[in-house]
Amino acid sequence: MTGFRGALVRGWSLSALMHYQSGFPFTATSSQAVGLNGSNITRRANVVAGQPIEFSGQCSNAKAICWVNPNAFAQESVLGAGSAPVNDIIGPNFYQWDFSLRKIFVLPFREGMSVQLQADTFNAFNRVNWNAPTVNNAGSSTFGQITGSLPARVLQLGGKFNF
């Protein structure tokens, strides 16, 4: 095709990228003040026998997602090592699609001159990807809660003049 119709049809490109990551592993820990100088020591938490790690029931914070049972872990003493297994808590997964659409217009004024228009969308299907749960405060009522998410859909437009 040539002319106006050819200019509309040619020069398009579409690209897509899919991201998937399984949940990141975490270890339940807690910090304690030690000594008179205000130093903190972080240790693995203790596992509470008979308590499941998975949360079930009503979350105490209406604006949070309770990912881990806060009663499953307790703060360890200053001298103890903690009985929580390493990396036994698996965080939420991450999944999103990104798309990019480009159109190149060749300019007739001079050889090699063109204009490129581009539209990008990140997290195109607007899936909620949760942040990691708080697992560094065993024994607290906020242990195991997720209070935020990664950015929602993002759109971006751009243009470039090549000469």
pLDDT at 93: 96
- pLDDT of 11 reads 85
First CA to last CA distance, the chain: 24
Low-confidence stretches of the chain (pLDDT < 50) are none
Q: Cβ atoms within 10 A of the Cβ of 109, count?
A: 6
Q: According to the model, what pLDDT value does residue 1 have?
A: 66
Annotated domain spans of the chain? 3-162
Residue 20 has a pLDDT of: 97
Q: What is the pLDDT of residues 73-102, one digit of tens each?
A: 999 887 788 899 999 999 999 999 999 999
